[in-house]
Each structure stands twice: as C-alpha cells, then as structure tokens.
Amino acid sequence: MTTQSSEGLRPDGLTSGVELTAFSPEPGATRVEVPLGRRVMVVSDLLLTPDATPTSSAVTAEVARALDTWDGPGILIIAGNLFDFTDTGSPLSQAQRSLGAHPALADALARFATIDERRVIRQTGTHEPGYDTDPETIEAMAHRGVEQLGPVDLHLHTATGVRVVRVEPGEHAYASGCSGPETEFDPAADAKPGAVGHSSAGRAWRSLAARSTDDALWLVGLSRLSDPSALSRFVVSRTLYRRLGRYAWWLLVPFVVAGLLRVAVTPWVLGHIGSGLPARAIRNAHRADLGDQIVIALLVALVVLAVLALVLGLLSRRMWSILGGGSLETVQSEATANDTARDAGRRLVGRGYAGLITAATFQSELTHLGVGFYANVGATAEVVEEHRGRLGLPPVFLNNQRVSWVELETGAELHVRMLLARNELRSPSLLERLITRGRSIRSLHPALVASYPMGASWPAAPDFHLVHRRTRRRRRLASAAILVAGVIDLLDAVTPPLRGRLHVVLQYLPLRASVAAGALIAMAGLALVALGRGILRGQRRAWRVAVTLLAGTIILHLIAGADIEESAVALGVLVLLVVSRGDFQAASDSSSLRSALLAIGIGVIGITLVTTVSIEAFTHMGHHRSHIPWWTALWAVSERLVGIKTIPLPERADRFLAPTLLALGLSLVAVVLFLFTRPVVDRRLTSGRAAEFRARDIVRRHGASTLDYFALRSDKKWFFHRDSLVAYAVYGGVCLVSPDPIGPRNEREQVWGSFRRFADSHGWVTSVMGAGEDWLSIYRDSGMHNIYLGDEAVVKVQPFTLAGGDMKGLRQAFNRIKKRGYTAAFYDPAHLDPALSQELTALMAMSRQGEHERGFSMMLGRVFDPRDTGLLLCVVRCPNGAASAMCQFVPAPGINGYSLDLMRRDPGDHPNGLLDFALCSTIEHLRADGYQGLSLNFAALRSTLSGDKGEGTVQRAERWFLKRLSNFAQIESLWRFNAKYEPEWLPRYVVFDSAEHLVPVVMAILRAESLWEIPVLGRLLAAGAEKRMVAAQQETEEFIAASFGQWDDNGERVESASVNGGHTDDGPVRGRPPTVSGSSGPAA
C-alpha cells in the first residue's frame, strides 16, 4: 500500500457492469492505494478525555475488540475527533492522559500497527484544535504507529477495476491550502454542536456548549447532539421537561379543590368565610354537582396549562437569546443532519468517485447515490438523540451510547458496510421517562444496518409521497373540522340556551355576560369558517388564530349557556390542531397582514367615530330625548360591531344601527381574515441579473428538453438547488412550474423535494405545465397527479423528405412559394441590423391578433435580445425583397436541434403555404448543418382528435366537443398543421397536487397563457399578468441600454462619450432589440 498525490490520476475499469463517469480527481487529498482483497475500517468521534466514563470505556472496548479480531492486512482510519481537546491548552498531555485512561483501546492500536501491511491513519477533527499544528503530539502518535494525514483518496483495487473513495473529517482545511473545490463542500453547515470550527456559527455553538454545563445543568448534552438542526428543539424540550416539569403538579390543584368541596367539613368552613362575591362563588361551587365541579376543574387546568405554555415559549426564547443562539425559527428550519455533506458526495460521484465518507455530524448514515454512495461514520461515544413525544407532546432528547463505523472491502467489486449499535441511557427526568415509555437496553456489539452496492440505505430515505399524503390528509381533516366547528358556533349563537343550564350560569355570572358570549361565539364561528382556506394551505398564522379562537370558544360556550357538547367539539378540534401542529408551517403574506391590521384599525375607528357623532346629533334633534354621554355612545357603537347590545340606545336609532353595525363588523372580519391568510405574494417582478446569469449557465450545461430554454422568460422566477434550476411563476397562490426542472439527473428527486418544501413553506399550490413523461414518475412519487394535455411535434431533420404521396400537399406548397421567387434567409437574432429588426417588428405588429400576445410555457417572450445567443431566425422575403414571414427558434440540445418559439407572417396578399415554406427551408438548413431535430407547435389533446384513444362513445363525444371548440381556438388546425410533417409526438401533461386544487390550477394556467381576451372570464384573469409582462419588457430595455447604449426611434445609436463617440470596436452597431410576447402557434 502506497501513498501519493491523487491529482492527475484516473482509475480504470467498471463495477457491476455499470459504466462509470470519467474520473476527475478532487484537489487537496492524499492518495492511498488499497490492493485487492484488503479491508478498510473508518471510525470517528471517540472524543476521549483524561477522565474515563462508563460510556467511553464501553465503546472503546468494542473498537478494541474489533481490532484484536481483525484478520489479515488492512487500514484503520480515524476520521477526526479521537480526542476532545475543547477544554485544554496542551494537546500532547491531553492525548497521553486520554489514551492512558482507556488502556484497552491504546493497547489494541499498538498491536494493530505493529503487524505488517497494516496502517493506522488519523485525521484532525473539529474537537481537536491545534492538534495538526503541534509537532510534539504528531510525533508522539507516530511512535504509536499512527500517521497524521488530511483528506485521503482511497484507490481500491477490485476485480472489475479501481474505485476511488474520498475520506475526510467533518470540517477540514485543504492540504494544499486552497479554498476548496469550485462547488465547495461547506462542512460548517453540518458542523457538530460545540465543535471548534472556523465559521461564526461554529464559534457560537462552541460558546453555547461551553457554558451550558456550568450555567444550566438542564442543557447538559448540547454539545453531543446527533442532529445539529435540532438545537432549537433541544432547548425547548429541556425547558419543558426539566425546568417546567417540576411545576406540573399545579395541574392537579383544581381537582384537589373539587375533592375538598365534597368532604363533610366543608359546610362548617363555608359558614365562617363571611360574605361577598368570592364567598358566594365558593358556596355555589359547593352546591354544584360533581360533574359541574370536574368541568370547572378541567377549565382551570386548561388555563394553567396555557399559562405554562406561554411561560415555556418566553423562557425558551429568552434562554436561546442569552446563550447566543439567534432566532429559534431560523435554526429550526435548517436542513437535516448530513444534507450538505451528502450534496458533496453526490458531486464527487458525478466526478467519477465511488463515494464519500465523512464525519460531518454524529449521525450515522449510508446512502446509495446511484453508481456511488455517501457515508457518514457517526460517533462512537455518548450522544444525545431526539425521540418523538407521545400524544403530540414536544420531542424528548435522551443520551445514548453509540458504536458506529464503516467498513470497505475489495474483492470482485467494492463492498461498503455500515455497522451500528445503540443503547439508551436512563433519563434523570421522570417526565421524560414517562413520555418515552422508559429505557431501551441493547447490546453495544455493532450489527450490520446498511451495505452498498447490494443492500438498503440507512437510515431509510423518507417516503416523500407518504409524508406529503399524510400532511395533505391532516390538513384536509383539520380544515373540515374547523369548518364544522364554525358552523356549530354560528348555529349555537342563533339558538337560545336551555333554561336549566342558563340558570346554572346565572348563579355565577350576570346575564349580560351570557349575551356577550353568544355574540362573540357568532364572530368566532364566522372567523373559523373563513380560516378554512389558510388551514388547508397549512399556514402557520391561520393555525395560531384557529387555536386561539377554539380555546376561547371552549370557555364562551360555557358562559353563553353551559353548552358542554359544543365546548367538547371545540376541544376536540383544538386537540386535533395541536397534535398535528407540525403540518402547519407555511408562511403567509406579511404585506397583507399589515394591510389587514390597517384595514381593521381604520375601519373600526372610522365607523365608531362617525356613528358616535351621528348618535350625538340624533339625541340633540329633539328636546324630549335624554342626552347620552359621548363615551357611552362610543362604547355602545363598539359593542354593536360584534353583535352585543348591553348599553341601550334610542329605539329608532338602534333599529337601524344594530344590524348595520353588525354587518359592517362581519364584513371587516371577512376582509381581515382573507388578507390575514393570504399566501405569500412574490412581488419581485423579476429575479435579478445575478440569478439570470446563473440560470443561463445551468440551462447551457444541463438543458435537455425541447422546452428548457423557455425557462429563461423574463417574467419567470428561478429556484436554485445545488446545480439545478426550477423556473416558476405564481398566479393567485398557485405556483406554476414550466418547464420541468433543469439539472443533473441524479439530483432530480432532491431538487423536486426541495422545491415542494419551498412552495409549501410559502403556502403555494404547486403545479407543472407541459410536464414530460420522463418526469412523471418523480411527480407521482411526491404525491401529485397528472392529466394529459396534448403532444409536442418533433420532426427528425435528417430523414425528413418531401418525396412521397403523403407529402404531396406540403411539397406542392413549398414548390409554389419557391417558384414565385420567395427566398429564405437565416440570422442570429442577437446580432441583427437595426433596419432589419425594425422591419420584422413591424411585421409582428401586423400579424398579431388582439391587444396582447399569448403564451407562457412554449414561448420566450422576447426577440432580438443580445442576451439570447445561439438562437436561429428564419426570414422569408417576397420577390420585391420585403420580409413576408419570420420564424424564431431556440436551442434544444436534447434533440440536437431547435424548438419553435415564434411564427409570424404578413397578412397581405401572399400565396398559401408561406409558413410551410419557412419551416421546410429551416429543416433543410438544419440538415445541412448536421442537426437532428426540430420541435414544432404544441397540439392540444392530439390523441383524442386523431382517434388514438379509441372509438368508444366517450372518445367520440370528446372529439365532437374539441372540433366545436376549434371554432374559437386553434386546436384541430394546429394538430393538422403539425401532422403534415409526420413528426414524432411527445406527450405533455399538466401536473397538480390534489383534486381540490385542480380548478385553481386551471385558472392559473389561463392567466399564465395570457388568455385575458376571452369575453368576461378573460378580464378577471388579466390581473397581474400584464404587469409582469410590462416589467419584463422594461427590464430587457434597461439591460440593453446599459450594455449597448441608447437608441433613437429610427434604430440609430445615440452618440455618447462613453461609447467611443457612438461607434464600437468590433464593427457595425447592432440594432435595439424590441421585446414582445409571441405565441408558438402560426398566425391565421
């Protein structure tokens, strides 16, 4: 086994018959050769200290046993954190004392290193500051046979070739001193809490963990979290179970009081407590039956529980802020444990590596990445893990003993194994033990949990389809539940209470309190009904308001008429919302919240003041009427806004004011709740210049579909994930994606899952317009549904010919145009002469039908833009030299050709077949240049029109309907126009989330395709779409003006001192490109 630099080397051979990507070595690693038949063991995070603990002794004994039973040659790699140096200033002394405290491991390492063809390689981890720069420590370890290296590339020789695996600690400095690869692996994002890192985040967690033991014993274990993203939940959990848990007995006080009211000595006590309201209340409570006393005790317990929850929230956030943790919400929304390192592994696999092994966190993992793998070694020490709480309670964090390592073995092929053992330790908190059902005791002898290439990943990848389906089901159930609760509240408000129950209430409260509670119940019911939309979208703000209203209505129902049944329903819905609280994390629009608060503030103040002045004027109109003080009138008006009438007003005025003010109050509530639960509105009319450059780079490198270039429309936003792009636009809360996401194939599941979470966090409904068949499986796996939309026509350029009987009509049209002297010329639209651009702009204006152009998914929306390089423009000229037709095409690398963007012709007196001549000339031009394909128009529901779906009654009815619809839209004509070229048909689909979202998705598609010229309906769809188009045009003009100077109305460049006196250095000045929106269909 040899060691050398890995740069410039390439492994040969295949594994399991799978063709590997050409190997491109990552800089900054040391090459280590592993011959055939060898074994490599990678372990990390033993975190040894001079003071041995029962856990450290137990886990090191397991590692020592594995080394002592090792058979044959091999390599042991300690991928960082053999020691824990965070509390010492002398690495050498700490290392010697730590090994002395664990003699079993020290002796096993010494014995292992003395055997021939065995090596022990050690890397520096995040808990070992200064180790790799301390020569004495390195030399002392070298005497024990331990080599100090940075990241290593294991070149593993198998019977089918050489596979390269990168092994590196969680946070490292590159050996060469460079800043890292071009797509950098950012270990700080996955850094272990308490780790000594170079980032500010690492320093913050180290500071937090360092003082947690001394300042707050209940935070012990913060530096050993297996998942760093659970830091905020750890603080909240420990605050609840270990700080506030000691006060849980308060919840029993109301029941103890209820019990004392039943004992015999109570009447004697009540006779000596005097009089007054408290004394009367106690006597009435004593006379009540046991059931009423228990109900009262439950209500008091709920109040105490609410107070405890409030204290929990305030205390945990205060503690988090004191310890330097920042915002709880920000940290809680971070990615899972090994996401960043796993992304680095996926990138390395794309460069030809077999896999990546890191020690990024304490969380063990072995994940298949297609032809490669990613492994995180995990800790062999005592760590803190998150356990799900029972009955919807917050999670519990318990200490665990863990032994974990990764083994690699070379043979017929590369085999990778993950071995793991865990043992839960007893929690010092009784409440935590009750929540987690006690302690689980297991053996610390590690067992096989995952393997590669044959075997499963560990932990198992989340089933996004199952998760999304469960989330959607819970949201539907919660939305239906609060709708039912709201209707019950409305019905209860208009139903008089039972006499017997009302009599019980009046013993404790005045009648006006019961009347006011009934009015508030009506308002709460209306609000709950209005909140259904926000709950269905999973909005956190709607969830909070619904929980508050339900908690209030539980008490209001009892006050209004002791309606225990209605309170029980509200309590059940409240429990449902609290238990499923994790499914309601979507954001709402902040600007709409400000508008809602402004609306209710101005509305209430304005209505109240105007009505109060009117009442004052009314009372002074006649001398016989008594005067009402203005503050009394003000209060009377305010309470009538919510339906309460405890303060009398003049009868004539009240008959008019009471229903009017109630209607105004209800209207205010409806408007406020609509704005309050409005999904996030993306008010960015464009994504910005930097995002556009990145999007163009991704489309250039990964564009494969015939629609991918249309992702660069100026009115689309771009979502980036790793090296992938999702183009989308939001219409009325519907996030419309078109085309399919663009990026490497091995990132498809990840980018779509990430985008779904992004859209869901904004409260948007996700839909895809024009989805291709190769993406349908991914959409379906995420829980979405699809509907056939139509077919895209793709002509194979090389075998295309006009010969034959089937092409007679097309051939005659082409020859007729050619014989009359028409010619076709081809240009790069990014470099057009100003005169030609003006001529073509006039041509497009003549052939456009309607006020605006239409299109979204299969059109670029601009022409002659210098940014759009590589496009193809076909211009057909008539015998007198004037332009009579034009076609613009965008690149389509997936078919090694182009895709049709824009078709326009002069509506004047020209022979038929002008556009056919342009397309046939383009096909000849592409064939001569060696291209393979040309994508034409989209034919909606082509399989139905052509009869491919069969000849049944339903199919014939569909075909009849489409033919009648073709009188208003170019459906059948587009299909027949494309069919002449005998193309290959590529099906396209509309993908939507669930049935209740289909109608909003269809409305969003109509808006996106700019179909606002449809009578009546179209004008309702126009809002926002025209604004986006104007903003995109303005951005294009600003970009061109900044890049190429200003132009006058004649297409001539305005001279400026900053542009070489009006001339450029590379030849003639290019014309100003006008920006239009064009349809991909031919003009009639």
HEC assignment per residue over 605-644: HHHHHHHHHHHHHHHCCCCCCCCCCHHHHHHHHHHHCCCC
For the chain, report the end-to-end CA distance as a whole number of angstroms.
Answer: 74
57-61, 289-293, 431-435, 793-797, range with the lowest pLDDT: 289-293
pLDDT tens, position by position, 764-776: 889 999 899 999 9
Confidence of residue 328 (pLDDT cuts 50, 70, 90): very low
- Token pair, residue 81, equals 């954190």
Cβ–Cβ < 8 Å for 907, 769: no
Architecture of domain 464-583: Up-down Bundle (1.20)
Confidence of residue 407 (pLDDT cuts 50, 70, 90): very high
pLDDT at 741: 94
Determine the Cα–Cα distance for residues 96 and 101; give it in Å rounded to an integer.
9
- R_g (Cα) of the chain, nearest Å: 37
Q: Where are the beta strands (DSSP E) in 389-536?
A: 396-410, 414-424, 447-452
Cβ–Cβ < 8 Å for 884, 877: yes
What are the residues facing 719 on neighbouring strands? 726
pLDDT at 875: 93
Phi/psi at 882 (nearest 5 deg)? -80, 150
Q: Is 120 helix (H, G, I), strand (E, B) or coil?
A: strand
CA dihedral 492, 495, 501, 504 (to 10 degrees): 90
Indicate the CATH number for domain 3-199+336-452: 3.60.21.10
User: What are the distances in angstroms from CA 954 to CA 216, 336, 791, 946, 949?
Assistant: 72, 49, 20, 14, 10
pLDDT at 579: 83
pLDDT at 173 exceeding the cut of 50: no
The number of beta carbons lying within 10 Å of the beta carbon of residue 816 is 15
- Token pair, residue 405, equals 């390592």
User: What are the distances in angstroms from CA 992 to CA 651, 1001, 1005?
Assistant: 56, 7, 11
Phi/psi at 272 (nearest 5 deg)? -115, 15
Determine the Cα–Cα distance for residues 268 and 239; give it in Å rounded to an integer.
43
Cβ–Cβ < 8 Å for 730, 764: yes
Cβ–Cβ < 8 Å for 767, 737: yes
pLDDT at 391 exceeding the cut of 70: no
Cβ–Cβ < 8 Å for 315, 207: no
Characterize 750-787 residue by residue with b for buried, 16 or more Cβ atoms within 10 angstroms of its Cβ, and e for exposed. bbbbbbbebbbebbbbbbbbbbbeebbebbebbbbebe
Cβ–Cβ < 8 Å for 712, 745: no
pLDDT tens, position by position, 371-382: 889 999 999 999
Cβ–Cβ < 8 Å for 647, 565: no
pLDDT at 984 exceeding the cut of 60: yes
Length of the chain measured in residues: 1084
pLDDT at 657 exceeding the cut of 50: yes
Nearest of 338, 339, 374 to residue 353 by alpha carbon: 374
> CA angle 63-69-75, nearest 5°?
70
> CA angle 697-703-704, nearest 5°?
170
236: amino acid identity, one letter: V
Strands 372-376 and 382-387: unpaired
pLDDT at 1003 exceeding the cut of 50: yes
pLDDT at 214 exceeding the cut of 80: no
Q: Is 186 helix (H, G, I), strand (E, B) or coil?
A: coil
Which contacts (CB < 8 Å, 24+ apart) does range 433-441 have? 435/241, 435/389, 435/390, 435/393, 435/396, 436/387, 436/389, 436/390, 436/396, 436/398, 437/390
- Token pair, residue 769, equals 């317009």
- pTM (whole model) above 0.75: no
Question: CB-based contacts of 172: which residues, under 8 Å, 6+ apart?
Answer: 80, 123, 124, 150, 151, 187
Determine the Cα–Cα distance for residues 970 and 950; give it in Å rounded to an integer.
23
1016: amino acid identity, one letter: V
* Residue with more model confidence, 368 or 1072: 368
Average pLDDT of span 839-864: 72
Average pLDDT of span 172-194: 38
Q: Where are the beta strands (DSSP E) in 250-369?
A: 355-359, 365-369
The number of beta carbons lying within 10 Å of the beta carbon of residue 1065 is 5
Strands 355-359 and 447-452: unpaired
pLDDT at 578 exceeding the cut of 50: yes
pLDDT tens, position by position, 69-123: 998 899 999 998 888 876 666 778 888 888 889 999 999 999 998 888 899 999 9
> Do you find a cis peptide bond into 459, omega within 30 degrees of 0?
yes
Query: How much of the chain, in percent, has pLDDT values that exceed 70?
Result: 69
Owner of token pair 């069969």: 950
Confidence of residue 358 (pLDDT cuts 50, 70, 90): very high
Classify burial at 616, counting beta carbons within 10 Å of its beta carbon; exposed 0-12, middle 13-18, buried 19 or more.
middle
1083: amino acid identity, one letter: A
Domain ranges of the chain: 3-199+336-452, 231-332, 464-583, 590-676, 791-986+1047-1062
**Residue 270 φ/ψ region, left for φ over 0, alpha for ψ in the -120 to 50 degree band, beta for the rest:** alpha
The tally of CA atoms less than 13 A away on the side-chain side of residue 491 is 8
H or E stretch covering 583: none
pLDDT tens, position by position, 225-239: 877 777 777 877 777
Nearest of 643, 680, 685 to residue 661 by alpha carbon: 643
DSSP string, 668-726: HHHHHHHHHTPPPP---SS--HHHHHHHHHHHHHH--STTGGGGG-TT-EEEEETTEEE
Strands 717-721 and 724-731: antiparallel
pLDDT at 43: 95
pLDDT at 932: 92
pLDDT tens, position by position, 579-592: 888 888 887 776 66
pLDDT at 969: 54
Nearest of 691, 659, 1076 to residue 904 by alpha carbon: 1076
The tally of CA atoms less than 13 A away on the side-chain side of residue 773 is 6
pLDDT at 943: 66
pLDDT at 63: 93
* Residue with more model confidence, 262 or 530: 530
> What DSSP character marks residue 1015?
T
Candidate ranges 77-91, 166-180, 711-725; pick with highest mean pLDDT: 711-725
H or E stretch covering 793: strand 785-796
pLDDT tens, position by position, 446-472: 999 999 988 888 887 666 677 778 888
Cβ–Cβ < 8 Å for 347, 339: no
Nearest of 165, 167, 126, 130 to residue 150 by alpha carbon: 167
Owner of token pair 């003071």: 51
Determine the Cα–Cα distance for residues 1002 and 1007; give it in Å rounded to an integer.
9
The number of beta carbons lying within 10 Å of the beta carbon of residue 197 is 20
The domain made up of 791-986+1047-1062 has a fold known as Aminopeptidase (3.40.630)
Nearest of 1073, 1077, 1082, 1009 to residue 1041 by alpha carbon: 1073
Classify burial at 623, counting beta carbons within 10 Å of its beta carbon; exposed 0-12, middle 13-18, buried 19 or more.
exposed
pLDDT at 927: 92
Determine the Cα–Cα distance for residues 367 and 452; give it in Å rounded to an integer.
8
Query: Three-state SS string across 515-540, please?
Result: HHHHHHHHHHHHHHHHCHHHHHCCEH
**Residue 8 φ/ψ region, left for φ over 0, alpha for ψ in the -120 to 50 degree band, beta for the rest:** left
Nearest of 576, 575, 556 to residue 566 by alpha carbon: 556
Task: Give the largest Cα separation in the chain, rounded.
Answer: 120
pLDDT at 388: 75
Phi/psi at 48 (nearest 5 deg)? -75, 140
Q: Is 353 helix (H, G, I), strand (E, B) or coil?
A: coil
Mean pLDDT of the chain, nearest integer: 75
- Token pair, residue 510, equals 């005045």
